[in-house]
Every structure is written in structure tokens, then in C-alpha cells.
Amino acid sequence: MTKTTILVIDDEFAQREALGGHLRTHDHNVLLADSGRSGIELLQQHLVDLILTDFRMPDMDGMQVLTAARTINPDVEVIIITAYGSVEGAVDAMREGACHYLEKPVDLDELDEVVARALERRQLISENRMLKARLRETYRSDVGGATESGPGMDGIISRDPAMEEVLNMVARSAPSRASVLVRGESGTGKELVARAIHAASPRCDQPFVAVNCAALNENLIESELFGHEKGAFTGADQQRRGRFEQADGGTLFIDEVAEVPIEVQVKLLRVLQERTVERVGGNAPIKVDVRLISATHQNLDELVASGRFREDLYYRLNVVSIQVPPLRQRRRDVPLLVDHFLQRYGSENGKEIREVSREVMDLLMRHPYPGNVRELQNVVERAVVLARSDVITQADLPAEIRDLAGTAAVVDESASLPDQVEALERRAIDGALRQAQGVQSRAAEVLGITERNLRYKLKKYGFK
């Protein structure tokens, strides 16, 4: 495996050497620079994966290093190292694209965690580049558009590491014909993921057929999936091809597969095993070549345990499992999605909406989004329709989001920014642990961080 190259930029000799020495023990190639300018010169000469840079330096500060580095190598990840009084500047750098910041003195355990996440993110982005190019080519006419399930195909409008992992799974599973089970809450964009798999697969020029079982009468699901012969039941006045036949050669997406009745599950299993279908009222097998992608917001493991979903069918569907994170676990994407929907609905409604106010963005970032991306999409569309100016204000938001303005966490505004951040982190961790009934893996999922990072913070803040 090729070693990763990390550039450490710090004008303090002891700090620079200590970080470099520690990183070398983890088998990284390390380049050291004693100033921002010399660091940029090294970046121009070497292929660098990650930069650790001090925020305050005499010639160039961390923000300037970040800007210059992204001009030279847009894919390089940047971590800001900041002293106690400069956290606010480091947070601004994160808004401009830095992936994280660390406070001095640098805790080496935290350094290892942050570096590992940054390098993993860079690898995911690199692996996903070919997939995104393929999606843009396939959906050239839809670039910048949106579906009912979420944003357009152009990069799926995300920069959050959680969604990069989803795209990575899409890229790795797309070339095969293996069944894929897409899990996630309603409104997260499960159909968008299914369409991305199809678009990146060898079947991309064949049909993509979608059926939502939750929208069908239970008695009609069998006929919808497998078709029926004329006279098969009352009202069947003509022969009808089912969704499997319609998708022959391509991809069939069964949304809310948990709604398939238990008796129809037997027939669905047979289709997956034998790759033939029999229409309702018929007995002639019809060969089909279909790649099946299914999705659900329900817990299929619990349904299997209770006998409401066949275990053998579950294993057939769940060859590859992709978990789409809820919007509350990918909040870094909220500003991107807001801008996307502003442009879309501004154009549709003949309005030129420049932006949302800072207060509105703060409320949109804090909202828990039980309806996920679809809910945010509706909120922005409503705001655009009601807006009286070219800036969205709090008055344009629905009441349930406006009410958040009065429920902000209480912090001591006289305290330093690091102390305020610490207090908020403590409160968030405590709330997540209560919600997860003390199970750390679940609490980490609620917080949108890794379990290792949560353990570090529990130790840091003295949680018992």
C-alpha cells in the first residue's frame, strides 16, 4: 500500500518536530515546513495528501495556507492547529473547507483520530470521482435538477463524509448484478441512491423501473410486480406485464419492500432464485434478467425475528447493504442543499432569491429534520414562495422551525469560545447517551461521529 504524505507547517520548531516524529511512527511520509510560504513551496513540489498547519504564523496564516493549498491541489485535506485564543479563526477556516481543527497542546490520540478520518475522507472522494463523472454523463440533462427523493444527480449535492461513504458503496456495488438493500429514514433519498447504482452499472442504458409498495393496495402488489393474465381476477380485462418484465435487462427498484405481503414474499424469492416470473392467473414461466435494488425505512431484522418477513428472502435482498444517513447526521450538507433548492424554486417561481439570512441558516442547521432532505426541500420551497424580498427571513419559515429561535442552548456568553464549545459538546454528548440508553455505539450514531471519537471525548470530558 502506498504511504500517505503529510505536510506539517509550523513556525515553532519543537511543535513541528514532535508532530512530524509522531506521524512517522504511524508509517506516514512527512514533510516539514517552518513557514506558510515554505510549506506552499513543498506542496508545489510534492504530491501531498494532508496538511497540518498552524493557524497563526508570521508570513502566512492558516487561512491563507488553506486558500493557496486548495488552488494548487483541490483534493488536499487541511487540518488547522490553533492556540487557545484563535479557535474562532479555525472555525472560519472550516467553513472555507478545512476538514478539522486541533487545539494546542495537541492531544496525540485526538490527532490520530482526526488524521485517520481526513485520510479516509480523501480516499473516498478520490474513489468516488469516477462514479460522479459517470453520473454527470448519464444524467447530463438533469444536472442541477432534483427528484422527489432529493437533490440532483450531479454529485448528489453533498460534501459530508457520511454521504461520501454512501457514494463509495454505490461505486463498488454498481458493476455487479448483486441485489442491494438501501436502508434509511423516509426522505433521505433512497431512490436517488438506487438510480445512482443503475446509472453507474453496465445496465445504465436499459430500463430503470421503480415501484413503491407502500403506495399500493396490498391486494394489488402481486399483480403490480409480476403482471396478470386477462380474466385472472375481477377487473382484469386485459393482459398486463408486471414490473419485473418491464425492467427486463435493467434494474427494478422496490421501495418499501417491507410492505410486501408474506404470501407474495414467497413468489418474490422464487423470482430471485430462478430468474423467471409467472403472471397472476398464468402458469407459463417468463425469463427475466433484472438487477434488484430494494429499500425500506423499517428494521427488517426485527420483522424477520417477529416472523413478518421471510429470513431467506431477507438474505437474498441484503447481499449489499447501504445505509443512507438522516439529514441530522450530515448537517454539513444543509447549506449546500439550501442553496440548491433556493436556485431551483427561485427559478420555478420567477423570483431572484439571493440567500437566506444568517439567523435563518442557524435555524435550518439546528432543526432535527424528521422528514430529512424532503422536509428541507419543502421548507425552502415554502420560504421562496412567501418571501417578500431577495433574502429569506425568519418570517418566511414555518412555525416549528421559527420556534427554535427561543430554544437555543443556554451558554455563558462571557466565557471564552473554547469553553462555550466544550459546554455545548458536553450537553450534546449527555443528551445522546440518554437517548441511546448509555449504548456508546448508538450515541455515536446519534451524534454523527465515530465510536472511537466519542470514547475520546468521554475521556476528555470526564464522563463516567
Last residue of a domain, one of 293, 325, 357: 325
Classify each residue of 60-95 as buried b or exposed e, where b means 16 or more C-beta atoms within 10 Å of its C-beta. Answer: bbbbbbbebbeeebeebbbbbbbeeebbebbeebbe
At residue 289, the pLDDT reads 96
Containing domain of residue 224, as a range? 150-325
Domain total for the chain?
Answer: 4
Q: Which residues pair with 241 in a beta bridge?
A: 227
Residue 31 lies in a domain: yes
Q: What is the CATH number of the domain that holds 343?
A: 1.10.8.60
Walk along the chain (464 residues) in steps of 10 and give the mean pLDDT of each run: 87 92 93 94 92 90 89 88 69 74 87 89 70 55 34 58 82 91 94 91 93 89 90 78 94 96 94 92 91 96 95 96 92 89 93 90 86 93 94 91 60 55 74 76 80 81 69
Residue 246 lies in a domain: yes
At residue 445, the pLDDT reads 79
At residue 154, the pLDDT reads 39
A 10 A CB-CB count for 149 gives 23
At residue 146, the pLDDT reads 34
Q: What is the CATH number of the domain that holds 213?
A: 3.40.50.300
Same domain, 344 and 426: no
Q: What is the CATH number of the domain that holds 94?
A: 3.40.50.2300
Same domain, 282 and 379: no
Same domain, 376 and 402: yes
Same domain, 94 and 223: no
Same domain, 174 and 272: yes
Q: In this structure, which amino acid lies at residue 336?
A: L
Which of the 8 DSSP states describes residue 280? Answer: B
Q: Report the DSSP pairing between strands 5-9 and 240-241.
A: unpaired
Neighbour order of strands in the sheet with 291-296:
208-212, 251-255, 291-296, 180-183, 320-323
What angle, rounded to 10 degrees, do the helices at 13-25 and 108-138 form?
70
A 10 A CB-CB count for 408 gives 10
- Site of grid cell 420556534: 403
The conformational region for residue 329 under phi > 0 = left, psi -120 to 50 = alpha, else beta, is: alpha
Residue 138 lies in a domain: no
Same domain, 191 and 255: yes
At residue 464, the pLDDT reads 60
Residue 128 lies in a domain: no
Q: Which helix (H) or strand (E) holds 32?
A: strand 29-33
